[in-house]
Amino acid sequence: MCNFLMQEKGYEIIAIPFEQLRDNDEQYLNTIKDKVQNKNLFHVQKYSLDINKIFDLYVNANLVIGMRLHSIILAHKFNKPFIALSYSEKVSGFCASIGQERDCFDVREWRF
């Protein structure tokens, strides 16, 4: 999906880690970066608690693809189109509560 978005749609991808303690999102995102074809268009942010930096990234985003609930909440807050990759009921439940079930996909069933 990342290769398609970069090559066919011309997107630059900025990956934002949201979890560090239980799961190391930054490590997972770097694993994805290792697999994309154009690494110059895929940037992994360092984990940060600086909410203003995160807000700034959202303000400038064209599209948000997220698994973490807070990534989807922020996309909704900033009125950004999103694709939610749901790994739990809390993500799909939030999408349903805002009427955007069509933008939420179960990661166990979804294929790009």
Whether the per-residue pLDDT at 17 is higher than 70: the answer is yes
Whether residue 112 is predicted with pLDDT greater than 70 in this model: the reply is no
Q: What's the pLDDT tens digit per position in 40-97? A: 999 999 999 999 999 999 999 999 999 899 999 999 999 999 999 998 899 999 999 9
Q: How far apart are CA 22 and CA 107, in angstroms?
A: 19
- Which pLDDT belongs to residue 68? 92
Across the range 7-19, mean pLDDT stands at 92
> Would you say 2 and 34 are in contact if contact means Cβ atoms under 8 Å apart?
no
Q: How far apart are CA 33 and CA 63, in angstroms?
A: 18
SS3 83: strand
pLDDT over 80 (residue 110): no
SS3 for 87? coil
The dihedral of CA 40, 32, 25, 63: what is its sign?
positive
Annotate 19-75 with DSSP letters as a single string: --SSS-HHHHHHHHHHHSS-GGGEEEPPP---HHHHHHHHHT-S-EEESSHHHHHHH
